[in-house]
Amino acid sequence: MTFRLVLLLCSFAAAFAQIGNAQSTTVTLQGEALSADLKRDLTSALMEEPVPETLFEARRQARSAAARLEDYLNSRGYFAAALTPRVDPGTPPLPIVEVDPGPRFSLGEISLTFQGTPPNQAAQTDARAAVRGQAGDFALPDDVIADERRLVASLKSSGYAYAEAEARDVLGDEIDATIDVVYRIHAGPRIRLGNVQFGSGLRTRRAYAQRIIPFELGDIYTPEALAELNRRLGATQLYSVYAARLSDDVADVTPEGDEVRDVILTLVERDRYTISAGASFSTDEGGGLTVEWTRRNASRRGDRLTVGATTAVQERGIDVEWRLPHAFGYGRTLSFNGAAGREETDAFDRDGVILGTALDIEYSPRVNFTFGGASEFTRETDTSGERDLQIFSVSGATLLDYSSDLLDPTSGWRLSGRVEPGTAIGDNASNFVSLTSQASFYQSLFSSERWVVAGRVESGIVSGAEALDLPTSRRFFAGGGGSARGFAYQSIGPKDEDGQPVGGRGLFETSAELRWRRSETLGFAAFVDGASVSSRDVPDLSSLRYGAGLGVRYFTAIGPLRFDLATPLDREDGEDPVQIYISIGQAF
């Protein structure tokens, strides 16, 4: 097998060698004033072309290369370069470009003039501060244009919504090798925000819709204000089309001369009813199917009623949630939820009904708090026998999400934590306090979002009663597709004398993935997961079990379809050598 693999690799190497030796040429660059570094940069800017067969083709390549190099030199600040294309006749003929780059120009005087009525002094000061170029810097056209854009953006953020750049003056001094730049900006009037016009024919009540407006009547316009309004409109999930813009008409003029313009919304409401479905499969848990029905805006206050049903080898149930967004002002969402179902696992069997309520507080687009309470009525059977329990608990949670994307992040981090004190009464009374936290990070590699390294750490403790006295829903279990891949579901941690998992009070999990997005639709991943569950109320790092594997990602409009194959690195007797997982979304 090893010999065949080596032979195969040699065959590939030979094939690539033949490709690399295929006859092709890059135009030769010559010039006494051409430094080695600049020659290397210019050579990399050229396009590789076939070896010319005629003098005509060689001349064309030389002229084309000279034009391309002139553009490149100008972009790097060489505005007085001299390029001479020629051909060295021979067999084959050789295209040559003689290059005299001349001096590299630097910035001289940089000035800003306003056309028409100038903005106020504070806006002028901010605009000038937005210019990063300074006298003596290399005169790079891209930097000059970027500074002009920053000028305009600064004025817009100061309320001058219609600020725009006019033709700039660029004056060159070939003797001193300097460039003077004069930015000419038309600021226009300063704008204040008027009423928000929602249009007609919408079901949503105006009183509710007004709650999502992020500015007050008469506030100075900023692009960020309209962008935030658009974000909030999208977050309601009520509209398939949403856009906010300033009115073309002036509603009023303030004594200071500011124009007041209304904000016009273009809104198209989504269908009131939606049905969606999802599926998953793993060798340890089997297959599963979820169907979800959603009713939007029944009360005309942006509410959302969701009914979901799940059927799987180990789980069957139905859950209902009614969300009332912004019930107590913007970002304060009240929800009521209920669920009923049955679980059948190696660790326990459980029938239960849960009723709960929660208040979500959006402190900022990236920071969220949740406070809630729940009542659970359950009948469960485990290694200790059968018991009926009533569980009452309250909870508080926080989420900080500074990742670049909800479903497939390529940079940033997330941090979450949750505390839940509760009590259980019935056949086995107990009190408990559960604490869990999770951190994950995402970092792109090689200056490309196609390569991403991702990591996750999760820990948890339950204080109070001993593990076997706790309700099974409050114990920790590890192993499986959402935990440590390579191991069967719930298989990591304390076991009874028959080898069945019983759960624990201390949890620690960690994961690391290297993700490669090969194309727009196809990606791959290599990963290592670790997990441990202890019977004590502290995580046990000394008993970590590790699994590793490879995965394929097929990217769709609703997120990546994930196919993972994993194996335990320290497999024990009775454990399967391979586990397979299929689901939607990245592992974390």
The average pLDDT across 6-16 equals 31
The average pLDDT across 127-145 equals 94
Please report the pLDDT score of residue 577 as a whole number: 93
Residue-wise pLDDT tens digits, 246-277: 999 999 999 999 999 999 999 999 989 999 99
Evaluate if residue 12 carries a pLDDT over 60.
no
Residue-wise pLDDT tens digits, 46-55: 888 888 989 9
Please report the pLDDT score of residue 410 as a whole number: 92
Residue-wise pLDDT tens digits, 519-553: 999 999 999 999 999 999 889 898 999 999 999 99
Evaluate if residue 505 carries a pLDDT over 90.
yes
Please report the pLDDT score of residue 280 as a whole number: 86
Q: Which of 472, 365, 459 is nearest to 418 (CA)?
A: 459
Please report the pLDDT score of residue 584 as a whole number: 86
The average pLDDT across 184-206 equals 92
Residue-wise pLDDT tens digits, 27-48: 888 888 889 999 999 998 888 8
Q: Which of 56, 68, 84 is nearest to 26 (CA)?
A: 68
Share of the chain above pLDDT 70, in %: 96
Evaluate if residue 224 carries a pLDDT over 80.
yes
- Ordered by start, the domain boundaries in the chain are 25-100, 106-186, 191-269, 273-584
d(CA 153, CA 150): 5
Amino acid at 570: D
d(CA 262, CA 265): 10
The average pLDDT across 489-515 equals 93
Evaluate if residue 16 carries a pLDDT over 50.
no
Evaluate if residue 88 carries a pLDDT over 60.
yes
Assess whether the region 191-269 and the region 273-584 belong to the same CATH fold: no
Could you tell me whether strands 94-100 and 28-30 are parallel, antiparallel, or unpaired per DSSP bridges?
A: parallel
496 band by pLDDT with thresholds 50, 70 and 90: confident
Residue-wise pLDDT tens digits, 439-468: 999 999 988 889 999 999 999 999 998 999
273-584: CATH architecture:
Beta Barrel (2.40)
Please report the pLDDT score of residue 4 as a whole number: 33
Angle at 74 between CA 72 and CA 79, to 5 degrees: 145
7 band by pLDDT with thresholds 50, 70 and 90: very low
The average pLDDT across 207-215 equals 90
- Which residue pairs, CB below 8 angstroms and at least 24 apart, start in 338-342? 341/310, 341/315, 341/316, 341/317, 342/315, 342/316, 342/317
Evaluate if residue 414 carries a pLDDT over 80.
yes
Look up the pTM and report it.
Answer: 0.76
285 band by pLDDT with thresholds 50, 70 and 90: confident
Q: Which of 400, 447, 406, 436 is nearest to 588 (CA)?
A: 406
The average pLDDT across 60-67 equals 94
Rg (CA), the chain: 33
Please report the pLDDT score of residue 113 as a whole number: 94
Backbone angles phi, psi at 47, to 5 degrees: -90, 135
The average pLDDT across 303-317 equals 94
Please report the pLDDT score of residue 25 as a whole number: 58
Residue-wise pLDDT tens digits, 374-410: 999 999 998 888 999 999 999 999 999 999 988 889 9
Mean pLDDT across the chain? 90
d(CA 246, CA 365): 24
How far from the centroid of its chain's Cα atoms is residue 185's Cα?
36
SS3 (DSSP) at 417 = strand
Residue-wise pLDDT tens digits, 169-188: 999 998 999 999 999 999 99
Q: Where are the alpha helices (DSSP H) in 310-458?
A: none
Amino acid at 55: L
- Ordered DSSP codes for 119-169: PPHHHHHHHHHT----TTSB--HHHHHHHHHHHHHHHHHTT-TT-EEEEEE
Please report the pLDDT score of residue 573 as a whole number: 85
Evaluate if residue 162 carries a pLDDT over 90.
yes
Share of the chain above pLDDT 90, in %: 74
Evaluate if residue 159 carries a pLDDT over 80.
yes
Which pair of tokens denotes residue 81? 């370069």
Tracing tokens 């000059």 back to the chain, one arrives at 144
d(CA 234, CA 566): 38
**Domain range 25-100, CATH class:** alpha beta
d(CA 233, CA 288): 34
Q: Which of 469, 453, 462, 503 is nearest to 483 (CA)?
A: 503
SS3 (DSSP) at 118 = coil
**Domain range 191-269, CATH class:** alpha beta
- Ordered DSSP codes for 204-271: S-HHHHGGG--S-TTPBP-HHHHHHHHHHHHHTT-EEEEEEEE-SS--EE-TTSPEEEEEEEEEEEPP
417 DSSP β-pair partners: 398, 437
Homologous superfamily in CATH for domain 106-186: membrane protein fhac (3.10.20.310)
Please report the pLDDT score of residue 47 as a whole number: 85
Could you tell me whether strands 191-197 and 106-115 are parallel, antiparallel, or unpaired per DSSP bridges?
A: unpaired
